[in-house]
Amino acid sequence: MADGELVTNDERLRRIEAITDAALSGLNIAELLDELLERVRDLLKVDTATILLLDDHTGELVATAAKGLEEEVRRGFRIRVGRGFAGRVAATRAPVTIHDVTPDDVVNPVLLATGIRALLGVPMLVNGDLVGVLHVGSLSLRQFGPDDVQLLQLVADRASLAGQAHAQVLDRQAALALQHSLLPGRLPDVPGLDLAARYAPGHDLGIGGDWYDVFTLPSGWLGAVIGDVSGHGLPSAVIMGRIRSALRAYALDSDDPAQALTSLDRKIHHFEAGTLTTAVYALIAPDRARVHLSCAGHLPPLLAVPGHPTQPVNLTVDRPLGVGRPVTNRRTTVLDLPPGAALVFYTDGLVERRSELIDTGIERLADAVLSGPAETLCDHIMATTAEEHPNDDIALLIIRRQPASD
């Protein structure tokens, strides 16, 4: 269509129908983006069309789909919001046009090498949140008009939901891979102890910052920890993995849970600044009769002793990890673990409800603790106390000292 020519009503209707075609809904995400780019390139009579999606974890726009600029996708081109042409569209969240492209306007070498002379870009938004940028280019000088902007924004709106879904799929795949690698797939077989654990995500990504770990040490002691990194999804899971690995390293160098958490606190302050983490770390003696615990802002575990009411362990709760200045005087509590007794470690997602005090949830959990094998107890607790669709992640770890008759 010639520069400056008005778009007729029939042409405008054809354009809209091409973008809102119900048949597009039957395509998968990659096919939909590809088809939308092909159609917009035809409708606007442009030479290139590209979608860059926002990577929330890095704050960069990533070339995801392209027509005429496929090299961008093959090279994995990335650019920070605010830099270059696409970054400017993302930063302003408004359409941007360049009628005569110069090297000062773009930072992408592929655009310059292709010989793009005119560019039009619009933001991709979902509920006001930036998803990415859609831009088209012409190899000849061109003045993009209001109708061109309107059509491209319509395409961007259609592509935004698909782009968001695409990013969520990638995050879910990465998060599930992290979950399988970071949460113990199988708890160790420990003579004298019966172990069981559960993890239930409280959101679509399938993993967050809740975690647990059990490991044997060269000294014969058994380390057990449960914790909660603030936040959800992939970023929290990544930090959780680093914290879990660090604690294992500190556990090899210290036989005092308080000292290990002190070292972990320093690590978080330095390398994970701004991250709040709660944790309870326990060391169980080789004879399984004593447990040393240190608590960093986490809910105390429950102790269930046969013939006695189940109660929270009476221990000193120190400040969470990563908060304020590093704590140098964390404390360790020592308690007896009689035969048949069980320690129930958990995260707040198991006991918190928006409509009640957390003490009510802890009492409900205590009432659900029955005597018997750890696996059976785990199943019973999850069935009777966990919400069907929890708002927060749930981690549950049970360590039971086997009775003399087991």
Which is nearest to 339 in space by CA: 377, 306, 366? Answer: 306
Roughly what angle, to the nearest 10 degrees, separates helices 9-20 and 146-182? Answer: 10
Does the structure show a pLDDT above 70 at 16?
no
End-to-end CA distance of the chain: 84
Does the structure show a pLDDT above 90 at 218?
yes
Neighbours of 86 (CB within 10 A): 30
pLDDT digits (tens, 9 = 90+) for 284-325: 999 999 999 999 999 999 999 999 999 999 999 999 999 988
Q: How confident is the model at residue 173 (pLDDT cuts 50, 70, 90)?
A: low
Residues of the chain with CATH 3.60.40.10: 184-401
Q: How confident is the model at residue 180 (pLDDT cuts 50, 70, 90)?
A: low
DSSP-assigned letter for residue 321: B
H helix or E strand, kind and range, residue 318: strand 317-318
Residues of the chain with CATH 3.30.450.40: 5-175
Question: How high is the pLDDT of residue 95?
Answer: 96
Question: How high is the pLDDT of residue 208?
Answer: 65
CATH classification (class only), 184-401: alpha beta
The two tokens of residue 99 are 């009628």
Question: How high is the pLDDT of residue 1?
Answer: 45
pLDDT digits (tens, 9 = 90+) for 42-67: 889 999 999 998 887 678 898 888 99
pLDDT digits (tens, 9 = 90+) for 332-361: 999 999 999 999 999 998 998 888 899 999
Tell me what percent of the residues of the chain surpass a pLDDT of 70: 83
Tell me what percent of the residues of the chain surpass a pLDDT of 90: 51
Q: How confident is the model at residue 4 (pLDDT cuts 50, 70, 90)?
A: very low
Do 141 and 118 contact (CB within 8 A), yes or no?
Answer: yes
Tell me which of 67-81, 149-163, 260-274, 293-307 is least confident: 149-163
Does the structure show a pLDDT above 80 at 201?
no
Does the structure show a pLDDT above 70 at 182?
no
Q: How many CA atoms lie within 13 A of 120 on its CB side?
A: 25
pLDDT digits (tens, 9 = 90+) for 65-123: 899 988 888 777 888 999 999 999 999 999 999 999 998 888 888 888 899 999 999 99
The two tokens of residue 335 are 């308690």
pLDDT digits (tens, 9 = 90+) for 360-380: 999 999 999 988 899 999 989
Neighbours of 121 (CB within 10 A): 27
User: What average pLDDT does this structure show over 186-192?
Assistant: 91
Do 89 and 95 contact (CB within 8 A), yes or no?
Answer: yes
Q: Is 3.30.450.40 the CATH classification of the domain at 5-175?
A: yes
